[in-house]
Chains A and B, each alone.
Chain A
Amino acid sequence: MGFPLLTIALLAPIIGALILMFVPEDEHRTIKGISAFFTGISLILSLVAYFGYDFALGGYQFVEDLVWIKEIGVTYAMGVDGISLPMLLLTNLIGFSAVFASWNVNKRPKTFFVLLLLLIAGVMGTFISRDLFIFFLFYEVVVIPLYIMVVIWGSTKRVTKEYAGMKLTIYLLIGSAFLLVGVIALYLNAFPVGERTFLIEKLAQAQMSDSFQIFAFLLLLIGFGSLLSMFPFHSWSPDGYAGAPTAVSMIHAGVLKKIGGYGLIRIGLLVLPVGAKFWAPVIAVLAVCNVAYAAMIALAQKDLKYVVGYSSVSHMGYVLIGFAALNVIGINGAIANMFAHGVMSALFFAMIGFVYEKTHTRWIPDMGGLAHQMPRAAIGLMMAGMASLGLPGLVSFIPEFTIFIGAFKVYPVLATICISAIIITALYTLRALANVLFGPRRPEFDQYQDAKGPELVPLVVLGSVLVLAGFFPSLLMDMVNSGVEPMLKPLMDTLNSAPAIGGGF
């Protein structure tokens, strides 16, 4: 085993959190500086992983194996491939930006940043572990800081922050209850006593009956689906994001909910291909509900965060239908789109958070003409909005196009509905942006300053990723494909021969 790159990346925020415990509460700058430093280390290490990853070789790289609990087959197994590497990168891009987006948090900053660092570490752990037990462990770690952060630093608008925090947590927990049952069933069913293991790549080789796969996949679908805000388990998402503080909205919408899509692919599809094939048509239909229904609702929103909240639900529909296509192109698109949406929504929430921090309003009718006072924030919001409506040259166009190609092959009618949603998406995005940024100058906003110094970091970091991956999509797509192609190839026969619910439609 060589240099434990992934472990260090994972430990950096945890060490940061430990150090923060010994920093006095009123040393605001030190607290923020330490947080930035340690998330920065993780970001640099994940960039090292990206540039060091051999795309031609594919498969898991930077592998670490350490038997932990031999009796039940738990291994501290780390590693990244073309599917988890974009998620690792995304986590740290957003985590680093989230620290700077919280630069003006002055209410109990020590606790806030400790929790933030733990949250980042928890999310990162789920993506880089190759062991289902460890995956689940990190997933549960995430819940605790999330709840506390919403309840203490959140904001009360349509719903109270307590309600929002509770809703967010309960959905996560209900989802994880289904997951837990599914995971245990999988563990017990895959291998006889003595050979049992939680290693995902081993589980994928187990022979499991079709009926079991169908049953277990359903459990995972409910669990991961509600995390991914799949219709009808989506309503936590707008309320939760609205109540949460900026950093939590960024991390939750940006990466945390992607654990759902990641899990569906990594565990659902890889380990239970027959189950995935069986339920795929149902997922496709629900995906269309996500895309079209949530986009329509976003039209009716007046709170900026609710617009983005419903928009995020809508975009997850693209991920789901790309997944449901169960072909190389669709899954490539689904994973790439998780990355794209992560960058875009994190930037969106960062900018909204910034504007809200200054103006204390997110109510669209009360805003207007902010491009006069905050041209930089306006650029950030425009970039995020344009990425959201799938403008070519920004990160999300190619993933969406790829999904459309993959999905149309299998579900032409459903895919057409999804494509038509680009009109509604443009409508609500442009409406919100126009009403917030443009129009006559409002003197009541003249006292507020534009983003500067550390406040600009999220815009610069996420904005440059947005443009770079938009102009050079192969930076993203080659990485994703290096994971998807070898993963799907051995599964193709099973996927083609297995029955789908209702014979597929």
Chain B
Amino acid sequence: MSFAQFSLNNAWLIPMLPFIGFLLIVTFFKRMEKTASTTAIIFSAMSLALALGVVAAIAQRPELIEEPFVRSFRWFSMPGLEISMGMMVDTVAAVMLFVVTLVATMVMIYSTGYMHGDPGYTRFFAYLCLFASSMLGLVIATNLLQMFVFWELVGLCSYLLIGYYYFKDSAREAAKKAFMTTRIGDFGLLLGIVVLQLNLGTLEFTELAEKLPAFAAAKPALLTLIGTLIFIGPIGKSGQFPLHVWLPDAMEGPSPVSALIHAATMVVAGVYLVARLFTLFHVSPEAQHLVAYIGGFTAFFAASIALTQREMKRILAYSTVSQLGYMMMALGVGSLTASMFHLMTHAFFKALMFLAAGSALHALHGTADIFEMGGLRKKMPWTAAFMVIGMLAIAGIPPFAGFWSKDEILLMTKLHGFTDLYILASLTAFMTAFYMSRMVFVAFFGPENPKNHPHESPASMLFPMSVLAVLAVVGGLVGTPWTEHGFGYWVRFGEYHHPEADWTVMGGSVVLAVAGIALAWAIYGAKVIDAEKLKQRTGFLHTLSFRKFFIDEIYQWFNEKIVTGAGKMLYWVDLHIVDGLIDGMAYITGKFGEQLRLTQTGQLQHYALVLVGAIVLLVLLMGIVGADSAMALMGGGR
């Protein structure tokens, strides 16, 4: 048996290995820093090797494009409810396996340098292993409940890692916010899962694929409802509007975490879930349109916020939200290929940018504002080069990876008749090129800030970045319109259509990207246009963008005043009305008892009186209802 075949048959090892790594670290290597990080890297690299094996195995077996490779066992069951766990590998899963294991391994190598000397070093690597394991478990899920289980576990890891610096109030709050916001999405998802299970009797992806078309024909409205409920989950997880608020705050976590979890892997879980349920969204046009428009709007909206932000990681975070919107939109307009392609290239260049940002922040000891940086390229040439590569990729300059995938999305949006979204997405592409080059020009070019003493990062940090940089340059070549049997042949839904190159779309997006970069250069590089004046000129719009449309403030108000206020009010009701009623009854009983006590006088004549009275009553009763019934009433009997 070849290694490829072995990898496919034992794909469950891919999530299992990092989990073993996690167990080893928490049980044995808690105080052995070097051993802990080496363990994490080795186990993660073994997963990467297996993931590559899976990719190779699939390349030999094109039938897996249509027929996923499934192995599962019974997890628990009762009459009417059977849930299994297992592994399901097809091309979509293989792409994710490769991306997750690759980025995880690179980030772990990077972290040996970045986290060096941190008191929680081993804890950090343990969390990373747990995260990698959960994320990979999510990827190979055979059914929706298994996916939900790992979905929540990656959420837990995200919570723990955002709050990694738990002694900081801001980190603590950000972690809580991330958990809560995604929890709102999970409520919708869980409800959707329950309704789906009750109506179709299964949550297995393969069985759903068979049953859904008939169900869609019979009950289209119900299916739209299910699709919408389920989509609330991805809205939360993948930071779509209006639940995007947690992702920028999640930057409180260490930079490697931002690269791994909040750029390349966990946040795309929502995209992956929709892709996994493409059979559902495909037959429910209303739900699918919702996906398209939420995605398109999020892409535009987040980019409009990123235009004015000042913190490096926050700019990157809003850009992530925006790019996730692209991926969602691609699914919504019906192109699984474009979405997964962009997911992959985005993982390369966004992880690269976050690691480069981490490298810069590491060197500057916590200066986050790009306007306090300046000229970093002189002291940090490698980091600057990596950042520029990332910027060119995300801006969509050919032949960098982002160009091909973004082009595919724009093309599909236009081809499938979503002209409005096509225009919106093109505008977003322009803004993306602008704010990304703004960040690069301000932080890495121009005069150096004399207050800073930057230095280039060690090789342990530069090596993983260079791997990602290579992929950010050439990674898109697997899916150009001129590639025979390229990405789109392998990762697709339904029949294979080889896309023809559309020169207007391609040319248009390049022009917009170049224009965005040029504008940013004019303002922040050459300073032909005065930034301050521009800020005053745009006044209200600038404030709106800079203050993120005040959405955080609205949520905070709602949470503090409405929700907590209602809790306080109900507590009052509980203390004074519900409990008061019961206490009142006790009080009445007590009073009654006091009155009753007065009868216990201890004087014989009183008792005699009562006795005589009772006999009289009894005789009267016998006279009225008859002796037998009276006896029965008094509790006697024969």
Q: Do A and B come from one complex?
A: yes
Taking Cβ atoms with an 8 Å cutoff, the residues of A that contact B are 170, 231-235, 293, 296-301, 327-329, 332, 369, 371-372, 386, 391-393, 397-398, 401-402, 404-405, 408-409, 415-416, 419-420, 422-424, 426-427, 430-431, 434, 437-441, 473-474, 477-478, 481, 484-485
- Contact at B194–A296, with CB atoms within 8 Å? no
Q: A297-B571, A300-B564 are in contact. Are A329 and B78 (CB under 8 A)?
A: yes
In the complex, which residues of chain B have a beta carbon less than 8 angstroms from the beta carbon of A423?
180, 183-184, 187
In contact, A478 and B175 (Cβ under 8 angstroms): no
Q: Is the CB of B78 within 8 A of A402?
A: yes
Which among B145, B150, B571 is the interface contact of A401 at CB below 8 angstroms?
Answer: B145
Residues of chain B within 8 A (CB-CB) of A427 are 180, 559, 563
Which 9 A-B pairs rank lowest in CB-CB distance, beginning with the nearest? A299-B567, A392-B149, A300-B567, A235-B579, A438-B166, A438-B172, A474-B76, A473-B76, A300-B571
Measured between C-beta atoms, what is the minimum distance from A7 to chain B in Å? 31
> What separation, in Å, do the CA atoms of A232 and B581 have in the docked complex?
10
Minimum CB distance partner of A226 in chain B: B582
Q: Name the interface residues of B146-199: CB closer than 8 Å to any CB of A.
A: 148-150, 152-153, 156, 163, 166-169, 171-173, 175-176, 179-180, 183-184, 186-187, 190-191, 194-195, 197-198
Q: What 0/1 readout, one digit per residue, does chain B (236-252) give for beta carbons within 8 Å of chain A?
A: 00000000000000000
Are B187 and A440 in contact, CB atoms less than 8 angstroms apart? Answer: no
Closest to A428 in B: B567
Query: Are A416 and B570 CB-contacts (below 8 A) given A405-B81, A423-B183, A477-B78?
Result: no
The smallest C-beta distance from B25 to any residue of chain A, in angstroms, reads 15
Binding site secondary structure of chain B: helix
List, sorted by A's number, 17 A–B pairs whose CB atoms are closer than 8 Å: A170-B586, A234-B578, A293-B570, A300-B564, A300-B570, A328-B79, A392-B148, A397-B152, A405-B198, A419-B194, A422-B183, A422-B186, A426-B180, A434-B176, A439-B169, A474-B74, A477-B78
Q: How far is the CB of B175 from chain A (nearest CB, A)?
A: 7
CB-based nearest B residue for A232: B578
Q: Is there contact, CB below 8 Å, between B76 and A398?
A: yes
Of chain B, the residue at the smallest CB distance from A400 is B190
A426:B183 contact, CB within 8 angstroms: yes
Q: Which of A301, A329, A371, A416 contacts B81, CB < 8 Å?
A: A329
Closest Cβ of chain A to B343, distance in Å, is: 24
CB proximity of A263 to chain B, nearest CB, Å: 21
Question: Given contacts A392-B149, A392-B152, A478-B76, is CB(A404)–CB(B166) below 8 Å?
Answer: no
Nearest-neighbour CB distance to chain A for B89, whole angstroms, equals: 22
What residue in chain B is nearest A238 (Cβ atoms)? B574
CB neighbours (8 Å) of B540 from chain A are none
Determine how close the nearest CB of chain B comes to the CB of A321; give it in whole angstroms. 13
Find B179's partner among A398, A426, A437 (CB 8 Å cutoff).
A426
Chain A residue nearest to B153 (CB atoms) is A393
Kindly identify, within residues 563 to 585 of chain B, every residue whose CB is under 8 Å from any CB belonging to chain A.
Answer: 563-564, 566-568, 570-571, 574, 578-579, 581-582
Residue of chain B at shortest CB distance from A425: B183
CB contacts (< 8 Å) of A401 on chain B: these are 145, 190, 194
* Residue B80 is within 8 A (CB to CB) of chain A in the complex: yes
Within 8 A of A (CB), among B64-94: 74-81
A171 CB → nearest B CB, Å: 8
B81 touches A422 (CB 8 A): no
- Interface contact A397-B194, CB-CB below 8 Å: no
The smallest beta-carbon distance between A319 and chain B, in angstroms, is: 17
Contact, CB under 8 Å: B74 / A297: no
| CB-based contact B167/A441 at 8 Å | yes
What's the least CB distance linking B467 to chain A, in Å?
32
Task: List chain B residues, Cβ under 8 A from A170.
Answer: 586
Which single member of B166, B198, B568, B570 contacts A439 (CB below 8 Å)?
Answer: B166
CB pair A405 B194 closer than 8 Å = yes
A408 and B194 in contact (CB under 8 A), knowing A299-B564, A438-B172?
yes
